[in-house]
Chains A and B, each alone.
Chain A
């Protein structure tokens, strides 16, 4: 009996937590920067800003996307240019091992 061992490669896991009103805009940014897919979940929490209208519009969203390092850097640059100053938003990138990594880069 022979099974092919799963192959892992390394890609960037980009995670963005933001007020939910931004969800459509952030998805457009991800697409424009080359991300091929993402997962959005509803999120709750507290942060330093506390200036938002999220109360009326569904709290926060957490968007996760597996992307190449270049795409992650490009998205981070877009966030720095247009979002971090005024919105309640936090984003981070982690290096992760992913099965079938070639799908994401």
Chain B
């Protein structure tokens, strides 16, 4: 019953309610979208805040603690998109190109899902290894690359890798996240103290505002569901549970605590909706965003936010305990 109480607390947390507000606004015909510049600014704030905080914690970790979980994260980043691609072939009538595009999204990770999980675990007083942000950073890219490779193979054409890979690597999310990590490692706890009122104390409030925006974006994606068929929404709910269980198990085997294994589960279960869509749009313009964005942002994101995160914690407690 503990898990139910945690799930209910999660449901009533400000970020999740903010998401619901954005969603309801769209359903009643309103519009709560942030101005573009504000949205971009908030997303930069979140990435940098997560990066710096992760960097400060990384400094306190020893290399030995980090190495096995990092290998597990990279392995999952490669395995998950392949699995997604194969399962989609059975579950949906989508072309290889669209399946590869979706696989790239599920192979990559979602910063906001990760962040919501950290906030949830903190509220539940469950400790998490400080270096988990490093896992977020290393899992962001491999999934996208594997997904694009699968799609390119299916479409029987070579992708213009030079341009695309460069665009992915110097994308805002990677630069800010990795840059923030480096900044955090260099400045350490004493330096962080000086920016904590901005990057720490305000964090959950700004996350809530950001989630209002994501709620409206997710709501606007829902009409696309009608054209996608029934296989895709089922995939978008069941696949995260499978990938999340794999992530939790791999995390436990790699020596992570219950909190850390939950986070690796969340990273495995989450689907990207910022870095991957941009990369896929540039490298695979033929793939239909109506499928990949609807699945990742319209279904998997809210599912993980409300049900997935407490569920992966429960699985981590069973596996780890």
Contact = CB atoms under 8 A, between A and B. Distances in A.
A52 interface: yes
A30 to B, nearest CB: 16
B278 A21 contact: yes
Nearest to A44: B36
Contacts of B293: 53, 55-56
11 contacts: A21-B278, A51-B288, A53-B277, A53-B280, A55-B217, A56-B217, A56-B277, A57-B277, A57-B278, A58-B40, A85-B285
Contact of B290 (A51, A59, A86): A51
B282 A21 contact: yes
B289 interface: yes
A90 interface: no
Is chain A's interface secondary structure helix, strand, loop, or mixed overall?
loop
Contact of B36 (A24, A42, A52, A86): A42
Nearest to B281: A53
Could you say which interface size class chain A belongs to? 10 to 19
Given A42-B36, A51-B290, A56-B293, 17 more contacts: A19-B281, A21-B278, A24-B167, A25-B282, A51-B288, A51-B289, A52-B281, A53-B280, A53-B289, A55-B217, A55-B220, A56-B277, A56-B297, A57-B277, A59-B36, A85-B285, A86-B286
A104 interface: no
Contacts of A19: 281
Q: Which 4 A-B pairs have the closest CB atoms?
A: A86-B285, A53-B277, A53-B281, A58-B36
Interface residues of B, number: 20
Interface string A39-57: 0001000000001110111
B312 interface: no
Contacts, number: 38
A85 B281 CA distance: 13
Nearest to A57: B278
Contacts of B274: 56
A21 B277 CA distance: 10
Nearest to A83: B285
A67 B142 CA distance: 42
B273 interface: yes
A42 B37 CA distance: 10
A56 B273 contact: yes
Contacts of B163: 25
Interface in B276-319: 277-278, 280-282, 285-286, 288-290, 293, 297
B290 A53 contact: no
A19 B217 CA distance: 17
A55 B278 CA distance: 11
A17 to B, nearest CB: 16
B36, B163, B167 — most chain A CB neighbours (10 Å):
B36
A25 B163 CA distance: 9
